[in-house]
Amino acid sequence: MEWDCPEHSIFVQADLLSLNRSSLYYKPVPPSPEEIRLKHRIDELYTRHPFMGYRTIASIMNRENDLIHENTVRRYMREMGIMAIYPGPNLSKRDLQNIGSIRISCVNWRSQIQSRSGVLTSPIFG
């Protein structure tokens, strides 16, 4: 962008670059010291307890007289790229893909033992 270009207006330059003119004037606001302090505290709590989510962190901070809403904690955590560690769904279900390979290896092991001794003598193999 050339702000002092006499040949092309700002409108034409923005149109050529496929930009909105209003976005050319936007200047991002740096975070306030209070926001930085809150983010540091969220990071401290998360580092000590990575399993805590935004609700738990918000309740702890509110008990410590840092008045902050859950949605604000969630937004800050998202901005910092941190998320609670928790187990995913269906962890108690069996992994059916590996069951077949386990059975095949047991059958191979049984056949090796049987071929060595001739007869299976253990009640486990019965």
Tens digit of each residue's pLDDT (9 = 90 or more) over 73-110: 999 999 999 999 888 777 667 666 655 555 555 555 55
pLDDT at 121 over 80: no
The two three-digit tokens of residue 89, written as one number: 């769904």
* pLDDT at residue 6 is higher than 70: yes
Residue 21 vs residues 3, 5, 7, 16, 27: alpha-carbon distances, Å = 12, 15, 17, 11, 13
Q: Minimal CA–CA distance to 58: which of 81, 84, 31?
A: 84
d(CA 10, CA 14): 6
Look at the pTM and tell me if it is higher than 0.75. no
